[in-house]
């Protein structure tokens, strides 16, 4: 009997569900989960020899300095990982990605200036993420996207000066957020956070201690108390300039669209032009305020004041003209479809865009400026050329009149 008992004892000892590295104490919880308790042990590394069935691992208050990719490979079933109060300054990307069941991750009170944000994409079960009291200076936009179970997020006591618009979107379970004690730069780039905080049901803990560190005139003021008058999302409106047609170099007509924008800070204007032959993106004016020598060589003339002129407007220039107004608070676009009608009144077969078809880029619809409209430049038949005009007299080449039909 004795040898058999000895074998049984050995089997029990080696049974992975009971394997426990010497610095830790392991126990099975009532719910059957295996807890490995390794806190307060002055550990410099994650101990080896943990059972693969460990679901809770506490390593808080040790001296861990760096987490290598393989450091948690032994415990793929982890649901809770407590790493607070260590000296962790680096985590190799991929370290957490191998823990798909992780629900609780505590890295608070460490020395992290960087975090492997891409690992979060694999942590779709994550509910609690504590990164507070570190040295994080940036949180990439979209880093948290996809954490559909995330309930609690602690980012307080870091070096965050700004956060990208939409950082907390796509987190349907988020209930509690801590952002206080970060040196926020309350420029209009952060204004979305105030607006989001005003409208969200997420509890922002100690919002009154979530303060602006810059600019000087807002220092010490709560982010949620940023004055709204300084940061106004752009609005944009497209109009057709109804000045009489002018002769271009080739005697054609010049189409002028004007995009009037408002907002604070003053929005920058961009144009996106889609024609049958392709797409043209124009960022900023292509012509100086007073016109320029090169101006006549360009197909699309974008002026600083928001006017877009298309000299010698032809069938090739038919398409959709979109004005995009952008400032730190947001973006807004407004489009118009332009078609050149032939000598007959506008026919039924002309492409007519659904006025609802415009895709707003901004957050709100602007009733004055949104939607795609159809602008038809109606080209009345040329004058019959007289014999006298044949020798270079240009009247016959000029479009005698433009009928401009605006459907708005
Ligand atoms: C882990 O736990 C399961 C069920 O609790 C058990 O069947 C399995 O043998 C354990 N595996 C290891 C490697 O301990
Ligand atoms: C993380 O998820 C990606 C995509 O789902 C997968 O290809 C990758 O293997 C995962 N990484 C780890 C370490 O499991
Ligand atoms: C705050 O942000 C604004 C706008 O992005 C920037 O111009 C300014 O330099 C920043 N200030 C500080 C102190 O970082
Ligand atoms: C914008 O500037 C151009 C060039 O100076 C001018 O032709 C145009 O009329 C201006 N538009 C408006 C709306 O003032």
Measure the CA–CA gap between 214 and 207, rounded to whole angstroms: 17
pLDDT top residue among 231 and 369 = 231
Among 185, 191, 264, the mutation site with the greatest number of ligand 3 atoms within 8 A of its Cβ is: 185
| Domain 21-230 = CATH 3.80.10.10 | yes
| Domain 232-406 = CATH 2.60.40.10 | yes
Please give the structure tokens belonging to residue 216: 């000087």
117: three-class secondary structure by DSSP: helix
DSSP 165-199: TTTTTT-TT--EEE--S--EE-SGGGHHHHHHHHH
The greatest distance separating any two alpha carbons of the chain, rounded to the nearest whole angstrom, comes to: 129
Q: Does residue 404's CB lie within 6 angstroms of at least one atom of ligand 3? A: no
Comparing 43-47, 87-91, 187-191, 281-285, which segment has the lowest mean pLDDT? Answer: 281-285
Spatial contact of 254 and 310, defined as CB atoms under 8 Å apart = yes
pLDDT tens-digit map of 115-168: 999 999 999 999 999 999 999 999 999 999 989 999 999 999 999 999 999 999
Q: Does residue 213's CB lie within 6 angstroms of at least one atom of ligand 3? A: no
* CA-wise closest residue to 379 among 349, 347, 352, 353: 347
User: Where do the structural domains in the chain lie, given as residue ranges?
Assistant: 21-230, 232-406
pLDDT tens-digit map of 195-236: 999 999 999 999 999 999 999 999 999 999 999 888 999 999
Average pLDDT (46-68) is: 96
Measure the CA–CA gap between 175 and 187, rounded to whole angstroms: 26
pLDDT tens-digit map of 136-147: 999 999 999 989
Ligand 2 pocket, residues with Cβ under 6 angstroms? 94, 97-98, 122
């Amino acid at each position: 009997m004795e040898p058999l008992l000895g074998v049984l004892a050995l089997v029990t000892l080696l049974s992975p569900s009971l394997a426990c590295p010497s610095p830790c104490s392991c126990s099975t919880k009532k719910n059957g989960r295996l807890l490995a308790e390794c806190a307060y042990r002055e550990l410099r590394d994650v101990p080896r020899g943990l059972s693969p069935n460990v679901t809770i691992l506490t390593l808080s208050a040790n001296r861990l300095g760096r987490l290598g990719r393989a450091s948690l490979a032994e415990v793929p079933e982890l649901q809770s990982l407590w790493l607070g109060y260590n000296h962790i300054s680096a985590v190799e990307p991929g370290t957490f990605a191998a823990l798909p069941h992780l629900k609780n991750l505590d890295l608070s009170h460490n020395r992290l200036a960087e975090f492997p944000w891409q690992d979060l994409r694999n942590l779709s079960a994550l509910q609690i993420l504590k990164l507070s009291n570190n040295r994080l200076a940036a949180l990439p936009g979209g880093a948290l996207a996809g954490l559909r179970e995330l309930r609690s997020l602690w980012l307080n006591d870091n070096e965050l000066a700004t956060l990208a618009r939409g950082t907390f979107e796509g987190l349907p379970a988020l209930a509690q957020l801590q952002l206080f004690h970060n040196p926020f730069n309350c420029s209009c780039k952060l204004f979305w956070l105030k607006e989001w905080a005003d409208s969200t049901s997420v509890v922002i803990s100690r919002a009154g201690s979530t303060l602006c560190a810059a600019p000087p005139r807002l220092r010490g003021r709560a982010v949620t108390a940023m004055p709204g008058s300084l940061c106004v999302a752009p609005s944009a409106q497209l109009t057709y300039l109804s000045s009489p047609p002018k002769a271009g170099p080739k005697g054609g007509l010049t189409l002028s669209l004007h995009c009037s924008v408002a907002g604070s800070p003053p929005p920058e204007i961009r144009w996106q032009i889609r024609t049958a032959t392709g797409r043209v993106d124009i960022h900023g004016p292509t012509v100086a305020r007073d016109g320029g020598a090169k101006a006549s060589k360009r197909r699309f003339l974008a002026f600083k004041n928001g006017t877009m002129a298309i000299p010698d407007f032809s069938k090739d220039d038919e398409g959709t003209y979109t004005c995009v107004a952008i400032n730190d608070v947001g973006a807004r676009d407004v489009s118009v479809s332009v078609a050149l009608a032939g000598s007959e009144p506008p026919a039924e077969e002309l492409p007519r865009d659904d006025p609802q078809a415009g895709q707003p880029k901004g957050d709100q619809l602007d009733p004055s400026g949104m939607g795609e409209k159809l602008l038809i430049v109606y080209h009345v038949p040329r004058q019959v050329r007289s014999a006298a005009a044949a020798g270079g007299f240009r009247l016959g080449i000029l479009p005698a009149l433009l009928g401009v039909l605006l459907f708005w």
